[in-house]
Structure 1
Amino acid sequence: MTDTKTPTLDRVAGPADLRSMSDTELRNVADELRAEVVEAVSQTGGHLGSSLGVVELSVAIHAVFDTPRDKLVWDVGHQCYPHKILTGRRKQMPTLRQGGGISGFTKRSESEYDPFGAAHSSTSISAALGFTISRDMGQPTGDAVAVIGDGSISAGMAYEAMNNAGHEGRRMFVILNDNEMSIAPPVGAMSSYLSSLSELSRAGPFGGLVAIAEGMEQLAPKPVRDGARRARELVTGLENRGTFFEELGFDYIGPIDGHDMAQLLSVLRGAKARATGPVLIHCCTVKGKGYAPAEGSADKYHGVSKFDVGTGVQAKAKANAPSYTAVFGDALTTLAEEDPSVVAVTAAMPSGTGVDRMAKRFPNRVFDVGIAEQHGVTFAAAMAATGLKPFCAIYSTFLQRGYDQIVHDVALQGLPVRFAIDRAGLVGADGATHAGSFDIGYLGALPGMVVMAAADEAELVHMVATAGAHNDGPIAFRYPRGNGTGVPLPETGRVLEIGKGRMIREGDGEVAILSLGTLLSDCEAAARILEAEGINATIADARFAKPLDMALIANLVQTHKALITVEQGAMAGFGAMVLQSMAAEGLLDLGCKVRTMCLPDRFIDQAAPAEMYRDAGLDTMGIVEQVTRVLGRDLKVVTLNAKRR
């Protein structure tokens, strides 16, 4: 890191130091903290724009509230870098999102100032209410403060929590960080409502805070002033019926300038002094505030790789192959050109899932439902019921949020929703919270569900075509984060036979390796190492976790001494389904040794994906070691020869 002078920030060992500072000094802390965040993230990569947008808010909250006794819960947590610096982790910032380093999200095991872990959206208000109840039942905790963005507050869980909190009527604080962005611009009626909201509740204990918010337009910088102007365009008469939040039982304060330290401190201090029930404070902020490249392109600087502070140019390695996301997006667009019934659904991730490529060509056939996976799945199910062909493109880790809808609204009714599951397997710097480890098991358990996994980008193109042609029930295909292997891509996909795998390499009958997904390349590399040691392994690509190619499996079992399954998923997934099906058909009685290789029964912390798979034993040498163990061969000879190569 460069030698940035931060004399005021240097005096902050923890939040208690902020509480002894003057308001002017707190303003200086914020200015220095913003520069520190930019410098730190430039060295590691990470979530930049969201963190820059809450610098003043982070300082003000810690200066006013008694953290860690008061519980501060950041929704999602990707905006927590200023918070981490202020809470004793400044020296650890060079390890941010690195193997063995600090998390890019809040994490209970990391600091007492992180009372509740986060990484998925819309959980903060529920957690804050839980802390509030605990306080009122005599637990040694103080006030609870939830900070939630305008994107996250669009999800149903946030409303469930607000409804419950309003009913309870207990003292707690929700700070709405309204920057008109999540990753992509937020969508839906609530987003429109927030952009037009201005009139304040003048009754109750907060009437004296109204003037602060009403003077905002004249005092704030232009981006925030424009937001306030839009907010004041709401039709009159709101006082008689209350804001939406007031109807839920909250006292509402705002909107206020989330970058004006004086306003923030005055409002937070006043709210803390007077609150008897739940309070919502509406702060308008600018994503990327104070760093021109991030302010000018909020979506591109939401998550960044390492970058040059002076120019904002990000350091990205030149790819030798397209990303799986891009391949999916292009294949889906091609399919949509051929079939007008094809539509796409995404949950606030059009760019992240690649459906933005289809949206450029067919904007009226791509639907961004916001952070609302439950709604998105049922929405897609109803479209499938009418004959449309919905592709529901959602990251594996986020698809978990819509599981009941997958069961009840899709699988139970046999509706042909196509699930495009991006970020399957381990994902790197975002760590355990974003790992796509469980979808094989939780989808494979559902009657009538077809589950595929692409071994490479060409296979992904074929699976998009297969999903498009499948009308006999739900179908899912999974693929990882990152770039493909560089294989040639077909111009159009070929429809695969459902439940049919393929032979990749014929061995001599000692051991067969049955792979599902992109670890096929590691299986092939392992086979080359083993061949040099006189072990000629057979390799097959299952393609389908469900239905399994039992003819292929039976052939492998009957002609080999050992069978090893390999997958990028958790226990109770592909290997478990193979074992269960083999047992049902008596194939376990034939004398073939069977071993399963899957992710271990633990959450794996962030690191480079290759390091994570090595840690899990799911890489080339891990496969070599498993083969030599099951065959009783000398592992040392194989390992030494592999290292020499």
Structure 2
Amino acid sequence: METPILNTINSPADLKKLALPELTQLATEIRSVLLNKVSQTGGHVGPNLGVVELTIAFHTVFNSPIDKVVWDVSHQSYTHKILTGRKRAWLDPDHYDDVSGYTAPSESAHDFFNIGHTSTSIALATGMAVARDLQHQPGNVMAVIGDGSLSGGLALEGLNTAATLKTNLIILVNDNGMSIAEDHGGLYANLKLLRETNGQAATNLFKAMGLDYRYVADGNDLASMLAAFKAVKAIDHPIVLHVHTEKGHGYAPAMTHKEAFHWHVPFDLATGKTLNPQTGDSYNDVIHATLEHELIDEKTPLTAITAAVPGIYDLKRFGKQHPARYFDVGIAEQESISFAAGQAQQGLRPIVFHSGTFLQRAYDQLSHDLGINKLPVTIMVAGGSINAGDPTHQGTFDVAMLSNIPGLTYLAPTTKEELAAMMHWALHQDQGPVAIRVPGNGIHSAPLKTFNPQKMQPYHVGQKVALLGVGSLLPLAEQVQASLREHDIDASVYDPRNLSDLDTTTLTDLLTNHQLVVTLEEASLSGGFGEKVASFYGNTDMHVLNFGAAKRFNDRETSAELWHEFKLTPTQLVTEIMKNL
């Protein structure tokens, strides 16, 4: 049996010794190890399968890290990592967690940024090119950006700047006709036209911006990519290399189900079927039932808007039934908010569906277009949780961001009944924008008699200790209450509901027969709900304990480790409470 070629590759320099047949075999081997690992661990499947040949060709022709490549999002950098000395993280299960799923300068001199969000690579590369020239350094600078990422405003800003530089800069547009889901927006008609005309169409977005342009019809063909890179290496001006690839190339399930395999939980490699699929009701079911009730029964003139993350909320279900009321603006978070603002100003009731870790990209629009103008837009926020993963996808900063925008009300439901009630209230009030933090810890249910967004909901009224469990942490508050009974403490439990404006009446009432208020939140303590409560009690005798996340970027700690570090387990909380009584 022949020795795998991958065994001989320890750095990009080793690629330069290989002929085309050996490089082609290497591509097959890499695709195999990629699939073997992600089928067990989960990860970005389609994006990485689509750029295997492209990445091998880059590291064969160029001289990394003197020649520098910036991967947009960097969720397609697995092959790059394998070729730059980190292959053990794909070959040895004991080392699967050694590297991040994104580029990380702490891992390798071949990585230049921690990147996990989209549309940034061109702007970053323009800055690197200027720094190279002013410091008289050698090397090419290349940005690799997917077609889906071009809809982000920063990508167009980067192209605009790139066209003014009179120096080496290579912008590789990896065009697979997909974003996370399908591409949405007018510029994709031009990309399609360029693909269909082999790059020869008279209408050319990139040339119109003043950039040189070349087209590669088959970016999954190694010979084509090697030739393309050799042709532009050491070029003396900015150029767009428009490369057509296939998302999920080489694995039938990923080619057939491109959106599902953009990022996938562990799956059966032979069939592509998810291992241990989740079953039962979900908060998405509640959201969709509420949308239908509001639209059909209440005649609410609502619309549903997302910025390229329909899968988080299963929004295509709504889009199929109400296509005129469903909008995917592509990877354009700013547009999603201002688009909704325009609709609301003219009488519609838009709901924007977001991931909390991406919504930060639209902060100015949240504050300026919605907050100042007091427009009744509803924003659903998913992913608010204490998680590990990587520094670029943190679910703990949304409370500090949203709850402190004047005029914006940030609500945190604890049950499916409360979620539905909050959506109904948000769609029928006219005070301003409302964001709703969708719980992410399994669905919970409890009867709801009335709903007042300005009042905390008492789950149990006791004395001495009051536990305020924000959203997903209300069940934890109830667990702590049960444990405190063993210490003869009948603690109160409250659901705060509103993260923006304190229920000062209830907080004042607690002064009568409580001496300790404990806040629990799956969010950064700095700027969070607990900080507001502590400030409220600052000039009183009430003692306050705040539990939540540290203000930092977590990186590959397990969720269990983080919860323990932040003392968010029942045993730890009871210990801290008893110490402070």
Please report the TM-score for the alignment, with normalisation by the length of structure 1. 0.85
CA distance in 1, matches of 2:502, 2:197: 56
Q: Does 1:38 align with 2:35?
A: yes
- Closer, same or farther: CA 99–596 of 1 in aligned 2, 3 Å: farther
Residue 452 of structure 1, aligned match among 406, 411, 418: 411
Question: What is the alpha-carbon distance in structure 1 between the residues aligned to residue 188 and residue 341 of structure 2?
Answer: 25
Unaligned runs of 5+ residues in structure 2 are none
Matched residue SS, 1:186: coil
In 2, Cα distance between equivalents of 1:10 and 1:24: 16
Contact 2:185 2:330 in 1 (8 A): yes
Who is 1:78 aligned against? 75
The answer to whether 1:506 aligns with 2:461 is: yes
2:246 alignment counterpart? 286
8 Å contact from structure 2 (residues 473, 522) kept in 1: yes
Report 1:218-367 matches (<5 A). Answer: 228=195, 230-231=196-197, 238=202, 243-273=204-234, 275-319=235-279, 321-338=280-297, 339-367=299-327
How is 1:486-565 mapped onto 2 (pairs within 5 angstroms)?
A: 487=445, 496-507=451-462, 509-565=463-519
Once the two structures are TM-superposed, the CA of residue 317 in structure 1 deviates from its matched residue by 4.2
The CA deviation at 1:606 is 3.2
TM-superposed deviation, 1:607: 4.8
Matched-pair contact (CA < 8 Å) for 2:383–2:438: yes
| Cα RMSD after superposing both structures | 2.3
AA at the equivalent of 1:595: L
Q: What secondary structure sits across from 1:568 in the alignment?
A: strand
Q: Partners in 2 of 1:138 and 1:61 — Cα distance?
A: 24
Alpha-carbon shift at residue 150 of structure 1 (Å): 0.6
**SS at the partner of 2:523?**
coil
Indicate the residue corresponding to 1:210 in structure 2.
none
| Cα separation, partners in 2 of 1:99 and 1:32, compared to 1, 3 Å | closer
2:401 corresponds to which letter in structure 1?
A: Y
Q: Which moved more, 1:19-28 or 1:414-423?
A: 19-28
1:382 aligns with 2:342: yes
Counterpart residue identity of residue 471, structure 2 = G
Residue number among 84, 90, 99 corresponding to 1:102 in the alignment: 99
Instruction: Please name the residue that 1:203 is paired with.
Output: none
1:404 is matched by which residue type in structure 2? D
Alpha-carbon distance change, 362 to 609 in structure 1, aligned in 2, over 3 angstroms: farther
Cα 1:231/1:353, change in 2 over 3 Å: farther
- Greater displacement, 605-614 / 287-296: 605-614
The one-letter code of the counterpart of 1:613 is: W
Which of 32, 46, 50 is residue 47 of structure 2 equivalent to?
50
Out of 124, 129, 147, the position equivalent to 2:126 is 129
Q: Please give the per-residue CA displacement for 1:484-542, whole angstroms capped at 9, x wherever unaligned.
A: 23x36x8xx987213111111222x2211112111111111122222223333211110
Q: CA deviation at 1:97?
A: 13
In structure 1, C-alpha distance between the alignment counterparts of 2:94 and 2:355, rounded to whole Å: 20
Q: Report the CA distance shift for 1:76/1:481 in structure 2 as closer, same or farther (over 3 A).
A: farther
Q: Is the 8 A contact 2:413 2:471 kept in 1?
A: yes
Shift of 1:611: 4.0
How much does 1:294 deviate? Answer: 1.0
Give, in angstroms, the shift of residue 182 of structure 1: 1.5
Indicate which of 62, 65, 71 corresponds to 1:65.
62
Deviates more, 1:139-148 or 1:256-265: 139-148
Alignment of 1:471-490 (within 5 A): 471-481=430-440, 483-485=442-444, 487=445
One-letter amino acid of the structure 2 residue matched with residue 578 of structure 1 = V
Q: 1:357 to 1:629 in 2, by over 3 A?
A: farther
- 1:310 Cα offset (Å): 1.6
The one of 462, 466, 470 equivalent to 2:429 is: 470
Q: Contact 1:529–1:624 at 8 Å: present in 2 too?
A: yes
Q: 1:246 to 1:292 in 2, by over 3 A?
A: same
In 1, distance between residues paired with 2:420 and 2:287? 7
SS state at 2:522 partner:
coil
- Stretch of structure 1 that moved more, 257-266 or 434-443: 434-443
Unaligned runs of 5+ in 1: 198-227, 632-645
* Code of the aligned partner of 1:271: V
- The SS at the match of 2:499 is strand
Any conservation in 2 of the 1:122–1:152 contact (CA below 8 Å)?
yes
Does the CA-based 8 Å contact 1:178-1:285 persist in structure 2?
yes
3-state DSSP class of the match of 1:348?
A: coil
CA–CA separation in structure 2 for the residues paired with 1:96 and 1:626: 38
Q: Which amino acid aligns with 2:110?
A: Y
Q: What TM-score do you get using the length of structure 2 for normalisation?
A: 0.94
Mean Cα deviation higher: 392-401 or 299-308:
299-308
Q: d(CA) in 2 for partners of 1:337 and 1:45?
A: 39
Kindly indicate whether residue 354 of structure 2 is the aligned counterpart of residue 394 of structure 1.
yes
Amino acid at match of 2:376: P
Distance 1:162 1:13 in 2: 34
Change (3 A) 1:18 1:569: same
CA distance 1:113–1:481, change in 2 (3 Å): farther
Query: Aligned in 2, Cα 1:16/1:99: closer, same or farther, shift over 3 Å?
Result: closer
CA deviations on 1:69-114 (whole Å, 9 max, x unpaired) are 2221111111111112111211123789999642111122222221
* Fraction of identical pairs, as percent: 36
Task: Provide Cα deviations, 1:335-387, integer angstroms capped at 9, x if missing partner.
Answer: 22232401111001122233323212211101111111111101100111111
Structure 2 counterpart of 1:440, from 373, 391, 399: 399
Instruction: Give the corresponding residue for 1:618.
Output: 568
Is the 2:410–2:499 Cα contact (8 Å) retained in structure 1? Answer: yes
Instruction: Indicate if the aligned counterparts of 1:427 and 1:609 stay in contact, CA closer than 8 A.
Output: yes
Q: Which amino acid aligns with 2:217?
A: I
Once the 2 structures are TM-superposed, how far is the Cα of residue 140 of structure 1 from its aligned partner? 5.1
Residue in structure 2 matched with residue 194 of structure 1 by the alignment: 191
Structure-2 change in CA distance of 1:337 and 1:255 (3 Å): farther
Aligned partners of 1:10 and 1:65: how far apart in 2?
A: 21
| CA spacing shift, 1:12–1:95, aligned 2, 3 Å | closer
**CA distance, structure 2, for counterparts of residue 126 and residue 375 of structure 1:** 19
Q: Is the 8 A contact 1:50 1:287 kept in 2?
A: yes
Contact map agreement 2:198 2:215 (CA 8 A) in 1 = no
Other structure's SS at 2:527 match: coil
The residue type paired with residue 245 of structure 1 is F
- Give the Cα–Cα distance (whole angstroms) in 1 for the partners of residues 351 and 94 of structure 2: 32
CA distance in 2, matches of 1:185, 1:573: 36
Kindly indicate whether the alpha-carbon contact (under 8 Å) linking 1:451 and 1:477 is maintained by their aligned counterparts in 2.
yes
Whole-Å separation in 1 of the counterparts to 2:512 and 2:527? 24
> How far does residue 167 in structure 1 lie from its aligned partner after superposition?
0.9
Contact 1:343/1:390 (<8 A) preserved = yes
Deviating above 4 A after TM superposition, structure 1's stretches of 4 or more consecutive aligned residues are: 94-100
Number of corresponding residues: 579
C-alpha distance in structure 1 between counterparts of 2:424 and 2:387, whole Å: 26
Tell me the distance in 2 between the aligned counterparts of 1:98 and 1:548: 47
